[in-house]
Every structure is written in C-alpha cells, then in structure tokens.
Amino acid sequence: MLLEAHKLSVGYPAQKGREGGVPRREILAGIDLALPSSRFVALLGPNGSGKSTLIRSLAGLQPILGGIVTLDGVNMSQLDLEDRASRMATVLTERFDSGYFSVADIVAFGRYPHTGFRNELAPKDREVVQSSLEAVGLEGFSRRMFAELSDGERQKALIALALAQETDIIILDEPTAFLDAPARSEIFHLVHDLAFAGKGIILSTHEVDLALREADEIWLIDRRAQLIRGNPDEVIASGAIGAAFDSPRLAFDAASLRFIRKNSGVSPNSP
C-alpha cells in the first residue's frame, strides 16, 4: 500500500487560553483506509463534513489527533519533510500571487525535494518539468506567465508541479472548485489517466456525478461522520450518497447520477 491509515482521528487539538481555551475538536475518528497504486479515489461529503480536514491530515499539512498514517509502510510522522515530499505530492486550491514566475518556474517547484539548497536545476530536472507539462497538456506553455493562465490551465499547471515531484501518491484538495464545466471534466479525465498510468490519487470534490463516473473508488463521509468506502457501483447501490447529501427537496437519482426534485411536494414545473 502506498498510503494507509489505522484508527486515524482528525480535527483540531485543544488550545490553551483564558476561560479554558478552545477544547479539542475531533471531526472524524477511528478511520481505516488504504490507497494502492493505480487507484483513483474520490473523497465525497457534504460541506463541513471534514473532507478538507481529512485530506490535509493525510497530506501531513495538519497534525493528526490520533492513530497512524503510513507512507510505503513508514510512519509519516517519522519522515522528514523532504522525504515526505518525494513520496507524496499535494495540489491545493489556495490562491497565491505568482508575480513574475513563468509556468515552467512554477512547475519547477516540484523539483524542490530533488535539488540542493541553491535550487540549481540539472538538465534532468528540466526534462522532468517539460514532460510534466506535456502530461497535463500544457506543452508550449512553459514560457508563459503563470499569472496569465485561465483557471483551468492554472490548475493543470499545479498538477504538473505535483507530477514534477515524481511521487507515487498525489493528493488533490477540491481541484475543480473554481472551474467551468468543461474544465472540470478535463481535470477528472486527466486524473483518471494519471491513475491508469500507476499513480495512487486521492481527490476531494463536490462533483458527485463526475466522481462516480471517473473514480475507481469512493470514500464518502456521511452525516454521522462515518467514512464509507467502496467502488462507485457499490456506493450508489447502498443508497449512501442519498443518505449523505439528500435535502428535504432534493434526492439523489442513481440512474442519472444527479440530484433531482423530490416527487412529493409541489413543484412549479409539474403539470
């Protein structure tokens, strides 16, 4: 297994302070999961269910409250940051001012775990940057300013950055959040292809239909803070999607993979 978690609990530790400070807040507890290679896992869950907390904890970007996360069988907390970054890449949605960095400059950040402290790029590093750009369909973009890219191109360039890290694992936190419909599909197809080529990928998303169509495995956080795991067909058949997402007016439709109006109640469009 590339990545495994046993009895993992995630959330926010207690903070000292006046009036007792902020108590420890456990968002998910007792989670077991495993990510093999060549697997595209989509992490689904309603807003506030703890998707981001779980994904940041798995990426090592926030401390875990309990349990253990292993990378290639090694306890992640015992890996130094560079070692971790050469095994696992993370694509985040947070905006940043890229200044005068070109697309190639940004992708070259992926070589950080592999270069010395002066960050000189060897010819091999430049080749990896170039092939990473090709893998996401941005060949010919290397000299463009990163700041001038469209949202979709920007997200692909950040995936190229993760590819340039040459890791077995890639974690993506809501990579389609700011994208239009064609760009969202493109990102899912790209991630699907990367998993087919051997990567183990965890992607958190709100795109239920795309996730059910493209992913190999679904991790669903339901309303009782339980993590449900299974392949898309199993998860659809179990009714778990509806249990997690349905509202009084909307219900998940397994045939179309969409949320549709419930028949009960008055609909303005009904004849």
User: What are the residues binding another protein (CB under 8 A)?
Assistant: 15, 56, 59-61, 81-86, 89-90, 92, 94, 96-105, 107-110, 112-113, 115, 117-119, 121, 123, 126, 129-130, 133, 142-145, 147-148, 161, 165
Alpha-helix runs per DSSP H in the chain: 51-58, 81-85, 103-108, 123-135, 151-164, 181-196, 208-214, 232-238, 240-245
The smaller minimum CB distance to another protein, of residues 154 and 192, is found at 154
The smaller minimum CB distance to another protein, of residues 170 and 227, is found at 170
Nearest CA-CA partner of 35 in 91, 73, 92: 73
The smaller minimum CB distance to another protein, of residues 90 and 155, is found at 90
Is residue 207 a contact partner of residue 179, using CB atoms and an 8 Å limit?
A: no
Q: How far is the CB of 173 from another protein (least distance, A)?
A: 9
Q: How far is the CB of 168 from another protein (least distance, A)?
A: 15
Q: How far is the CB of 95 from another protein (least distance, A)?
A: 8
The smaller minimum CB distance to another protein, of residues 168 and 214, is found at 168
Distance CA 45, CA 224 (A): 11
Q: How far is the CB of 64 from another protein (least distance, A)?
A: 15
Q: How far is the CB of 165 from another protein (least distance, A)?
A: 7
Query: What residues form DSSP beta bridges with 171?
Result: 90, 202
Structure-block tokens of residue 246: 């349905």
Place of tokens 């893998």: 135
The one-letter code for the residue type at 186 is: E
Distance CA 64, CA 57 (A): 6
The smaller minimum CB distance to another protein, of residues 129 and 202, is found at 129
